[in-house]
Structure 1
Amino acid sequence: MNETEIRRAIQNKLIVEFTYSNHLRVVEPHVLGVCNGSKQILGYQVAGQSSSGGLPEWRRFDLARMSNFRVTTETFPGRRPFPSGQHSPWDQELEIVPA
């Protein structure tokens, strides 16, 4: 997993694809941060599969559990309203999608 590639995707509003919990995820990455000592991204999953509910939906992903990571050339329009109260707070925010 290349943190530089994740940062580039966030800065340039590029959709990413990766495998997580044996499911393909297609995600708009909005925040790269640290929570409880783990680097994670908060993203809006727009396609792929998930065993924890319907799509599209906000999800947090541990970088250590991601595989087959790829930055696509497809862009997304920018920030969506963040899901207040649904996710634990960040210990540190490393990168946030531009407005």
Structure 2
Amino acid sequence: MEKLILEAIENKQLIEFYYRNLLRIAEPHIYGVTNGIRQVLGYQTGGQSSNGRLPDWRRFDLNQMSRLAILAQTFPGRRPVPSGKHSSWDSRIAIVD
């Protein structure tokens, strides 16, 4: 799964996956580690959401993601963040250009 996330970030492609039993479609922007947990920061553009607000920024724990697939659809790259900065990371493995 890590290889697919890295490929999607490199090629700026949307990913589709299940998270907490809900289908998600997102732009993967950062793959990194926080508090020892590998996570993807994504801009969720489609699928389902437990709180109903889409599109929106979300962090997804890698160990809770399943059935990950890279979609043919691309996205232009970085998006402005409402706060002006992304939340903190222990380490960043990959980030979108």
What is the root-mean-square deviation in Å for CA atoms of aligned residues? Answer: 1.6
- Asked if residue 42 in structure 1 is aligned to residue 41 in structure 2, the reply is yes
SS at match of 1:10: helix
Alignment partners' CA distance in 2, 1:10 and 1:68 = 17
Identify the residue that residue 12 of structure 1 maps to in structure 2. 11
Q: Which moved more, 1:56-65 or 1:82-91?
A: 82-91
- Asked if residue 89 in structure 1 is aligned to residue 81 in structure 2, the reply is no
Count of paired positions: 97
For structure 1, the residue ranges without an aligned partner over 5 or more in a row are none
Q: Which amino acid aligns with 2:63?
A: A
Q: Which amino acid aligns with 1:27?
A: A
Alignment partners' CA distance in 1, 2:42 and 2:33 = 14
* Deviation digits for residues 58-86 of structure 1 (CA, Å, limit 9, x no counterpart): 00000000011000111001100134388
Q: Which amino acid aligns with 1:35?
A: T
Q: Which amino acid aligns with 1:58?
A: W
Identify the residue that residue 28 of structure 1 maps to in structure 2. 27
Alignment partners' CA distance in 2, 1:83 and 1:63 = 24
Q: Which amino acid aligns with 2:35?
A: N
Q: Which amino acid aligns with 1:46?
A: T
For structure 2, the residue ranges without an aligned partner over 5 or more in a row are none
Percent identity over paired residues: 57
* Deviation digits for residues 7-40 of structure 1 (CA, Å, limit 9, x no counterpart): 0100100000000011100000000000000000
TM-score by length of 1: 0.91
Q: 1:83 to 1:32 in 2, by over 3 A?
A: farther
- Runs ≥4 residues deviating over 6 A: none
SS at match of 1:6: helix
